[in-house]
Amino acid sequence: MELMIPLDSHSEMPYYEQIYEYIREEIKKGNLKSSARIPSTRLLAEHLKVSRSTTQMAYEQLLSEGYIESVPCKGYFVSRIEELVVTGQENGGESPFFGTYPWEVPGDSHPAAAGEAEYKVDFSPRGVDLDSFPFNTWRKITKITLVDDNKEMFATGDPQGEPAFREAIRGYLHSARGVNCTAEQIVVGAGTEYLLMLLSRILGPDHTIAMENPTYKQAYRVFKSLGYPVVPVEMDGSGLETSLLERSGADIAYVMPSHQYPTGIVMPVKRRQELLSWACKKEGRYLIEDDYDSEFRYKGKPIPALQGMDGRERVIYSGTFSKSVAPAIRVSYLVLPKPLLAVYRERVNFYTSTVSRIDQNILYQFMMGGYYERHLNRMRAVYKAKHDTLIGALKPFEKQFTIKGEYAGLHLLLTDKKNRTEEWLVESAKQAGVKVYGLSSYLIREGKAVVVPTVILGYAMLSEDAIKEGIRLLKTAWSSDGEQEE
């Protein structure tokens, strides 16, 4: 099959993006049917008279989002998505982490909780690189904000957050994440935990919440503390299994489709549509989309938000500045579907905003002055350098581990190939002065999920030299001399 893609040499959109947009729209409209074979990157490049790297970038993005699939020795094919229910938008394998043997995870401690031991290198998946924080810019904006005797700034503001700040968030979300909303639908709060508690007042108590397993344990703790029954739902290579979700009895699902934490799975478009279809089957069902670190993708474009596919007002979108700016900023936000916005105004809009107007104004000026975009671009470069350093240092480990999670986020996963237990890997690293984190620590205890022995290596807070030193120590700790007998 040939693809007649009209490339516009005068467009500001690069060629690879034009190719990606054209093929995606053809699939969404049904002009390219499921299982249809599309040209190889080489043939398409020759046909369009562009470099092969251009067509490869377009195909990699389509693969990441699940619009096409690659079959070894056969080529590229359109994924099976056309049979799914249209949910109101314009056009309508097994995971390597999961095994089949029984497992129960002892304890409920947070995986990143500080232990008694002191470590030479801590591969924590939490935190950010504060050495690269734009202190001078932040200081300048803060000074400008406080230089005048602006009494209004010290008065109680809008309970949803300052209107101008919410409009800035709306503009960013629409352009960078494909989120469709108005500023009126955005509620600003101090941290995701607070906003989940606020959301519980909007939704009411009579709900059962499904969560991916393993998952972000802090959200799990918040839901449990609020009295909600939480049902763990297992995942496959595409994310949360919708067939299991249907049988779970839950009416709300908490998901991380763009970059699941901690497994790093990117949910393909077919599975996203299945989730939306599930939500639309019964009144009162909602999806809570946690989009915690979508800014950091090092190959292709960021994966669009699930909310942008939602035409039936069933997705509650949650975002934060904790990863993109700094955890101490404590500024997060919800995008409420319009029906829930009405409930919010009826039930809880008497809650004052938990983020000061001064902090909101500083972050607003940071965004509107172009500093936020420049900061993100700089941090992508910083984290990509650390990511590449870690990938390079892990080359000698390829016989021992399967390495997952490349090209996105701030951590990698190493799945053992040599029948060593996760506990042994973590303890051996500890004896060498290195802290690594077991994937099983993120399991919901009530779940039946099993993870193949896997450790998590975060790199955001480490220098490149510290990354190399940590891997050097792990090489000794996990050397063949120290392997367990089968």
Residue with the two structure tokens 């510290």: 466
User: What stretches in the chain show pLDDT beneath 70?
Assistant: 1, 81-117, 148-153, 406, 446-450, 480-486
Query: What pLDDT, on a 0 to 100 scale, did the predictor assign at position 117?
Result: 56
Query: What pLDDT, on a 0 to 100 scale, did the predictor assign at position 57?
Result: 87
Tokens linked to 436: 């690594």
Residues in the chain: 486
Query: What pLDDT, on a 0 to 100 scale, did the predictor assign at position 480?
Result: 53
Query: What pLDDT, on a 0 to 100 scale, did the predictor assign at position 157?
Result: 80
- Beta carbons of 126 and 441 less than 8 angstroms apart: no
- What's the whole-model pTM score? 0.80
Task: Report the 3 state secondary structure along the chain.
Answer: CCCCCCCCCCCCCCHHHHHHHHHHHHHHHCCCCCCCEECCHHHHHHHHCCCHHHHHHHHHHHHHHCCEEEECCCEEEECCCCCCCCCCCCCCCCCCCECCCCCCCCCCCCCCCCCCCCCCEECCCCCCCHHHCCHHHHHHHHHHHHHCCCHHHHCCCCCCCCHHHHHHHHHHHHHHHCCCCCHHHEEEECCHHHHHHHHHHHHCCCCCEEEEECCCHHHHHHHHHCCCCEEEEEEECCEECHHHHHHHCCCEEEECCCCCCCCCCCCCHHHHHHHHHHHHHCCCCEEEEECCCCCCECCCCCCCCHHHHCCCCCEEEEEECCCCCCHHHCCEEEECCHHHHHHHHHHCCCCCCCCCHHHHHHHHHHHHCCHHHHHHHHHHHHHHHHHHHHHHHCHHHCCCEEEECCCECCEEEEEECCCCCHHHHHHHHHHCCEECEEHHHHCCCCCCCCECCEEEEECCCCCHHHHHHHHHHHHHHCCHHHCCCC
Query: What pLDDT, on a 0 to 100 scale, did the predictor assign at position 447?
Result: 56
Query: What pLDDT, on a 0 to 100 scale, did the predictor assign at position 149?
Result: 61
- Taking only Cα atoms into account, the Rg of the chain, rounded to an integer number of angstroms, comes to 23
Give me the domains of the chain, ranges plus CATH numbers: 15-78 (1.10.10.10), 121-131+374-482 (3.90.1150.10), 134-371 (3.40.640.10)
The tens digit of pLDDT for each residue in 395-436 reads 999 999 999 986 788 999 999 999 899 999 999 999 999 999
